Structure 1
Amino acid sequence: MSRETIERYYAAFNAGDGAGMLACVTDDIEHRVNEGDIRRGKALFAEFCAHMGTSYREELRDMVIFVTPDGTRGAAEFTVHGTYLQTDPGLPEARGQGYVLPAGAFFDLKGGLIARVTTFYNLADWMRQVSG
């Protein structure tokens, strides 16, 4: 069940389906994003998803998912293929720049849902790609 939850979560991400992503997380989801604050709860996670959908169009490819035998922890490695659509405050100006980044995420899973997701990527690499 845990592997399937992560697969559904990323299928919804790739489809731009925020509601589908929200269906995969607990009400008290802990979202730890690279270079940012910890967001706790579905409402803040939904706000983040909406913001990302406005500022970026991303597709995750080359997905590899790992899950512990007891199904309580997981990880995913993938490549982000994206387009920077709308300027994010404090970041370079968006002009439709494309980027490709290796990234990964770690998960706590409970009751068949994602209770924590921690995402990592190289922000300096992204900045170089969209600033050039």
Structure 2
Amino acid sequence: MSSPVDGRAVVEGYFAAINSDSFADLAEVFTDDVEIHTVGAEPVVGREAALAHFPAVLANYAEHEDRVTRWIETPEAIVTEIDFEGKLADGRPVVFSALDVFDLRGGRIARVTTWYDTRDVRRQVRP
């Protein structure tokens, strides 16, 4: 079981990889059987599927950043509140808040669950 300090470093590595489009680096923070659960979407299961998921989700963004504004930590889980700011390939801004819950196992992320206002985001990204 990882400590809160170790868990936080792993989750910080997750956000660093996402924010820099270094998606291959996510392999270092995910368990083999990682699950990605996003409100309104089918779960993504397994490290390889998760590594393919993030580039696909962010493909239409010219810029994007998840900025963590709050951390809640336990030895087994970390909850983060996030402010997302991005710009689509056509220059339109996308801004929203989200909540991510990270379940940790063996010093890695075993599950990520993300909640956000899907209706608002859909409205912002529609052509």
Task: Please report the RMSD computed on the Cα atoms of aligned residues, expressed in angstroms.
Answer: 1.6
Deviation at 1:130, TM superposition (A): 3.2
Contact 1:105 1:118 in 2 (8 A): yes
Are residues 63 and 8 of structure 1, via their aligned partners in 2, closer, same or farther at CA, if it must alter by over 3 Å? Answer: farther
Deviation at 1:27, TM superposition (A): 0.6
Task: Structure 2: state its 5+ residue gaps.
Answer: 1-5
Deviation at 1:32, TM superposition (A): 0.4
The AA in structure 2 aligned to 1:117 is V
2:118 maps to 123
1:114 maps to 109
Q: 1:44 aligns with which of 49, 56, 68?
A: 49
TM-score (norm 1): 0.83
Q: 1:32 aligns with which of 13, 31, 37?
A: 37
The AA in structure 2 aligned to 1:46 is L
Contact 1:73 1:106 in 2 (8 A): yes
1:92 maps to none
Provide, for residues 56-101 of structure 1, a one-character-per-residue CA deviation record: whole Å limited to 9, x for no partner: 2320124322211xx111111110001233xxxxxxxxx3321110
Separation in 1 of the partners of 2:68 and 2:8?
16
Task: Structure 1: state its 5+ residue gaps.
Answer: 86-94
List structure 1 segments (4+ residues) > 4 angstroms apart after TM superposition. Answer: none
1:59 maps to 65
Separation in 1 of the partners of 2:58 and 2:23?
8
TM-score (norm 2): 0.86
2:3 maps to none
Q: Does 1:80 align with 2:75?
A: no
Alignment partner of 1:54: what SS?
Answer: coil
